Amino acid sequence: MARGNKEILAKLEQIVGPEYVSNEEANLIPYSWDLTWAEPRMPDYVVMPKTVTEIQRILRLANHQKIPVIPYVNATNIGGLCVPEEGGIIMDLKRMDQIIKIDPETCYAVIEPGVSHAQLSAALKATNPQWEGVEFSKGFEFGWGVHPASASVLAMAINHGIGHLNGRLGINSQLLSSMEVVLPTAEVVKIGSCAYSDSWHSFLPLPRMDGLFTGWMGTTGIVTKLGLWIFPIRPYRDVLTIAAASAKDITKYMVHWRHYSLCDEVTAVSWWLAQIPITFPYKDKPKDAPEFFSYTVISGWTEEELEYKRKMWKKVVQEEKARGTQLIDFEYPEEAKRGRTELPSRIVGSTKNYSKSCGGGLAWPGTFAPCKSWPILYEKWKEIYIRHGLSPATRFTDYQGAHYGMLRCMTPFDKRNPESVKAARDAMVECVRAGIPLGMLPYKPPVEYMNELNAAADAGYVYLMTKIKDMLDPNNIMNPGKLGVR
Amino acid sequence: MALELKNTSLKELAKLYDYISMCTHCGNCKYGYEWGKTGNFAAMLCVQGDKYNFDSYRGSRGKAAIAKGLLSNKLQWSDAVSHVLFTCTGCGACQQMCETDIKPYILRMFEALRSEAWKQNVAIPEGIKKWSSTIGVNRNPYLEKHENRLDWLPSSIRSSLPKKAEYIYFAGCTASYRQKSVALATVKLLQKLKVDFTVSEDEWCCASPLLRTGQYDLAKEFVEHNKELPEKYGASGFITTCAGCYRTLSRDYKMDPPEGYIDKFGKMENVKVVHTIQLIEEMLNKGEIEFTGSFNSTVTYHDPCHLGRHAEVYEAPRNVLKAIPGVNLVEMYRNRKFSFCCGAGGGVRGGFADYSLETSAKRVREAESTGASVLTSTCPFCWRNLTDAIEMTKSPLKMVDIVEILEPIVKRK
Ligand SMILES: Cc1cc2nc3c(=O)[nH]c(=O)nc-3n(C[C@H](O)[C@H](O)[C@H](O)COP(=O)(O)OP(=O)(O)OC[C@H]3O[C@@H](n4cnc5c(N)ncnc54)[C@H](O)[C@@H]3O)c2cc1C
Ligand code: SF4
Ligand code: SF4
């Protein structure tokens, strides 16, 4: 069955060629849902541009006809962000898959939207940090998350994605350096140093206009090239692990350890998230099992550097134990340790660890929250989750210092069963509602979370967000419905 | 959003609903990837996605979405659905990448989807319809006469074969009617190596093309017929040179679903199935083979999907190649479980000749990039498609099956 309108289809075909546009439901259905509870919505067309000019022409057409356009690469955002609320054109950017540049001296890469984690990590590993031909070490890395390796690096990074270097460097959108964007009204703009020369190394010291396109979930423009900082791979790495009796105890330890800024990452997972796969439906934790497990990844240029970090870590653990923090010595199995350092991962990215045998649904209240609120919210979330028959598979991760970190609950559910879908959605929305007053903010928020955010937001904030959206996208064609204000 | 089972009239598909539902839509299956100590493997492996681009065509996620759509009545049958279903070569690369509970059922799901498509009013590729309409009589998908099946076998050899033997050499349709050189080299090789084998006077298609294209009803009599052959010849096993026959005889005839079809056709009991390459490797390991010559070439090996990913036979061909004096074996970037299909499988060569050839040309270019002068494999079907691409692209590569390399330069110790 075909959808949409023949004239629009013909115009899209003229722009990208007939093999790269379709209005057949057979081709549209994989774009109509994602992993989450988001209600399926059929787009009317899918189009796969290859060039910036093609994107401009599609956007001109979409503006003229007032057709929604949804930027899309792999739809693994776990927020229903690519589900076309009002139908329209899915702009699948996978064909724009060039790594345009890797500068091993100034240490940045420039990529197109379709570049996957698989592609970029392979290319960076094969490039050595150097100066005037003298190589210093082997390979570069970026902040790799636990996503499917086929997912877009660009789509992740511009939406405040997180990776394995967060403890050391901050979240991935803090590591961006330049960008090229096609505005909803089809003009092409460059932001950052690339606006002045072919050097894509920094946004600073210019006004931070990149903020108009980061965290906006494809509602303000199409980012067509992205510069990102890349980092030399440190040859020595270790994973140190510990467990704790409660969320409070593990938070105390994490806050103390991250104080020294010595790790690449420090993360804690509740007993339920430590189960592979996450138990679904909810099951009680054995009484004697720790409530939280934590790993921290340390890295260095020499074994001595690593040894120093190990010593400091042990000191933190001893001091915490001495002051009564209930830490429990616990060694992660080797395989689990490897899973923390060998990213991106084919296995973890495949959702196997989270969502096996439960009916295909996966979502999260994925949030940034001040660490102070972690234990308080964990107890609240746990109560909410258990009430809805779900496992509180919670994760805390520190982001570069004392300011904030991740609080999220990976949630499998059964898509075969409408009750299960509803329970999962209700639980997660309730968690978000409970968290906002305590400083918690959901990332890549599904529409339901966005509505919660908007209801609680400062009126001026919503006013400005709406004004910016209207200014950039006067016909509201870009991923409409996702901001909850238009 | 729930995806409930609403359309139970799709019986074959509905049986798999619980497994299909386990697909999370993660998209891991759309691209080949694995972390390695010094480098990452990263490459497009889905031949269908590489050609047709949209997510419907990329990996198992697209097809699982179609299956879910059909079962939940969110999608209706159409020619476009059929096109997505029949342009997949069933290479199994997506299955390799997937780690959720749908994984073992992915290929079975593709075949079940096709089996449902036959019952709908949708366009089935003409090429597939054509051979399917005559296979019941011809016993092969090449529109050739059944009585000519053994024409590849010189009468001198035919008359020398025993009536009863330990093995039946199951030549398969491609080697019987098209790549006759592979069948001939195989019997000569087996004779030289003094393997106790014979050739059946009444071999039928193994049913691989029927199963892979979802034609279960037609496949039944083929499986039942071939299952009886070992008893007739007092044989305890089949030897195949065709990767497709190997997969079908060793898995579809013998294994529980989802790997095999014994739920539909019963089990072939007590019959060993070996690919020639496994037999050779075993004989080499036992020191039973002596090389009388060498093959002085740089060679690259193409893993047939049906032998590699479907049956996990990766090392035997490589071990045999490495044992041949003069062979310098070099690997393509995409190899073993991350190999790239030759483009012929799953009915695609018969159904979409141009796309099939375009795919094999991609593989030939990859083989050329290794610096090899010889491209080898263990499947006459891959041989055919790769050879066509070599000719089309005027590639300097020479295609030979491993049995063709071995036959002139070995003897039994
Ligand atoms: C199992 C699992 C684990 C995950 N773990 C992590 C993790 O550790 N860290 C993390 O950060 N994420 C994680 N994610 C989320 C997600 O995989 C990543 O953010 C991912 O990189 C998104 O890529 P994608 O290709 O799927 O983007 P999509 O989902 O296709 O797009 C994401 C958003 O970006 C918009 N967009 C896409 N391209 C453009 C463009 N060119 N210009 C403007 N807007 C655009 C889309 O409209 C959408 O709003 C995980 C997901 C899964 C399934
Ligand atoms: S079997 Fe091969 S061609 Fe078919 S979807 Fe999977 S990877 Fe693609
Ligand atoms: S088939 Fe497997 S790898 Fe592909 S989307 Fe589904 S769960 Fe993920």
Q: What is the CATH number of the domain that holds B329?
A: 3.40.50
- Look up the domain containing B262 and give its range: 142-278
- Please check whether residue B404 lies inside any domain of the structure: yes
At residue B239 the predicted structure's pLDDT band, cuts being 50, 70 and 90, is very high
CATH number for the domain whose boundaries are A236-445:
3.40.462.10
- What value does the mean pLDDT of chain A take? 96
Nearest ligand atom owner, CA of B26:
3
Q: What is the pLDDT of residue A343?
A: 87
Are the folds of A6-92 and A236-445 the same? no
Structurally, what CATH architecture does the domain formed by A6-92 represent?
A: 2-Layer Sandwich (3.30)
Mean pLDDT of B228-232: 96
| DSSP SS3 for A67 | coil
Chain centre distance of CA B109 = 17
Name residue A131's beta-bridge partners.
A134
Q: Are A79 and A246 in contact (CB under 8 A)?
A: no
> pLDDT digit string (tens) for A160-216?
999 999 999 999 999 999 999 999 999 999 999 999 999 999 999 999 999 999 999
The whole model's pTM is what?
Answer: 0.96
Domain count, chain B: 3
How many A from CA of B133 to the centre of ligand 2?
A: 26
pLDDT at A423 over 90: yes
| Burial zone of B5 (CB within 10 Å; 0-12 exposed, 13-18 middle, 19+ buried) | middle
Closest CA–CA distance from residue B301 to any residue of chain A (Å): 24
Complex ipTM over 0.90? yes
pLDDT at A357 over 80: no
> pLDDT digit string (tens) for B52-105?
999 999 999 999 999 999 999 999 999 999 999 999 999 999 999 999 999 999
At residue A335 the predicted structure's pLDDT band, cuts being 50, 70 and 90, is confident
Nearest ligand atom owner, CA of B105:
3
Mean pLDDT of B374-380: 98
pLDDT at A352 over 90: no
- Please check whether residue B124 lies inside any domain of the structure: no
- What value does the mean pLDDT of chain B take? 97
> pLDDT digit string (tens) for A381-412?
999 999 999 999 999 999 998 889 999 999 99
Distance CA B56, CA B352 (A): 18
pLDDT at A356 over 90: no
Q: Nearest-CA neighbor of A478 among A260, A212, A184, A140? A: A184
Q: Do B184 and B107 share a structural domain?
A: no
Q: Nearest-CA neighbor of A142 among A163, A115, A114, A173? A: A163
Q: Do B349 and B254 share a structural domain?
A: no
Distance CA B384, CA B304 (A): 12
pLDDT at A1 over 90: no
CA A29, A32, A33, A37 torsion: positive or negative?
negative
> pLDDT digit string (tens) for B250-303?
999 999 999 999 999 999 999 999 999 999 999 999 999 999 999 999 999 999
Q: Are B212 and B247 in contact (CB under 8 A)?
A: no
Q: Which two tokens stand for residue B62?
A: 């697209």
At residue B38 the predicted structure's pLDDT band, cuts being 50, 70 and 90, is low
Mean pLDDT of A462-470: 97
At residue B3 the predicted structure's pLDDT band, cuts being 50, 70 and 90, is confident
What angle (nearest 5°) sits at the alpha carbon of residue B179, between those of residues B368 and B181? Answer: 95
Q: Nearest-CA neighbor of B46 among B105, B104, B110? A: B110
pLDDT at B36 over 90: no
Q: Do B354 and B309 share a structural domain?
A: yes
Residue with tokens 């013998």: B254
Annotate A77-112 with DSSP letters as a single string: SSS-TTS-TT--EEEE-TT---EEEEETTTTEEEE-
Nearest to A346 among B35, B38, B83 (CB): B35
At residue A337 the predicted structure's pLDDT band, cuts being 50, 70 and 90, is confident
Q: Do B26 and B96 share a structural domain?
A: yes
**A211 Cβ contact partners less than 8 Å away, ≥ 6 residues apart:** none
Name residue A22's beta-bridge partners.
A46
Q: What is the pLDDT of residue A347?
A: 80
- Please check whether residue B301 lies inside any domain of the structure: yes
- Where are chain A's structural domains? 6-92, 99-232, 236-445
Across A86-119, b (16+ Cβ under 10 Å) vs e yields: ebbbbbbbbbbbebeebebeebbbbbbbbbbbbb
**B87 Cβ contact partners less than 8 Å away, ≥ 6 residues apart:** B48, B51, B52, B57, B348, B351, B352, B355
Q: What is the pLDDT of residue A204?
A: 96
Q: What is the pLDDT of residue B255?
A: 98
Residue of B nearest to A233 (CA): B38
Closest residue CA from atom 3 of ligand 3 = B98
* Residue B97 to residue A346, Cβ atoms within 8 A: yes
Beta-carbon-side half-sphere exposure of residue A6 (alpha carbons within 13 Å): 0
Q: Which two tokens stand for residue A439?
A: 């400083």
| DSSP SS3 for B297 | strand
| DSSP SS3 for A427 | helix
At residue B2 the predicted structure's pLDDT band, cuts being 50, 70 and 90, is confident
Q: Do B245 and B296 share a structural domain?
A: no
Name residue A238's beta-bridge partners.
A298
Mean pLDDT of A342-370: 88
> pLDDT digit string (tens) for A23-78?
999 999 999 999 999 999 999 999 999 999 999 999 999 999 999 999 999 999 99
Q: What is the pLDDT of residue B412?
A: 95
| Residue of B30, B33, B60 best to disrupt the A interface, most CBs of A under 10 A | B33
Residue B395 DSSP symbol: -
Q: Are B98 and B106 in contact (CB under 8 A)?
A: yes
Mutate to test the pocket of ligand 2, among B29, B45, B46, B66 (most ligand atoms within 8 A of CB): B46
Distance CA A398, CA B83 (A): 48
> pLDDT digit string (tens) for B17-30?
999 999 999 999 99
- Please check whether residue B135 lies inside any domain of the structure: no
Distance CA B241, CA B257 (A): 24
Closest residue CA from atom 2 of ligand 3 = B98
pLDDT at A413 over 90: yes
At residue B1 the predicted structure's pLDDT band, cuts being 50, 70 and 90, is low
Q: Do B268 and B166 share a structural domain?
A: yes
Annotate A449-462 with DSSP letters as a single string: HHHHHHHHS-HHHH
Q: What is the pLDDT of residue A479?
A: 98
Q: Are A407 and A435 in contact (CB under 8 A)?
A: yes
Mean pLDDT of A83-99: 98
Closest CA–CA distance from residue A475 to any residue of chain B (Å): 27
Q: What is the pLDDT of residue A220?
A: 98
CATH number for the domain whose boundaries are A99-232:
3.30.465.10
Mutate to test the pocket of ligand 3, among B61, B97, B105 (most ligand atoms within 8 A of CB): B61
Asked which of B221, B250, B278 is the last residue of a domain, the reply is B278
> pLDDT digit string (tens) for A253-305?
999 999 999 999 999 999 999 998 899 999 999 999 999 999 999 999 999 99
Q: Do B315 and B217 share a structural domain?
A: no
> pLDDT digit string (tens) for B149-173?
999 999 999 999 999 999 999 999 9
CA B117, B122, B124, B129 torsion: positive or negative?
positive
Q: What is the pLDDT of residue A345?
A: 84
Q: Which two tokens stand for residue B340?
A: 């790239």
Closest CA–CA distance from residue A358 to any residue of chain B (Å): 7
* Residue B2 to residue A125, Cβ atoms within 8 A: no
What angle (nearest 5°) sits at the alpha carbon of residue B112, between those of residues B107 and B113? Answer: 100
Which residues in chain B have Cβ-Cβ distances shorter than 8 Å to A350? 26, 28, 97-100
CA A326, A332, A337, A340 torsion: positive or negative?
negative
- Please check whether residue B2 lies inside any domain of the structure: no
Q: Do B264 and B147 share a structural domain?
A: yes
pLDDT at A450 over 80: yes
**CA B344 vs CA A2, A174, B359: distances in Å:** 29, 47, 8
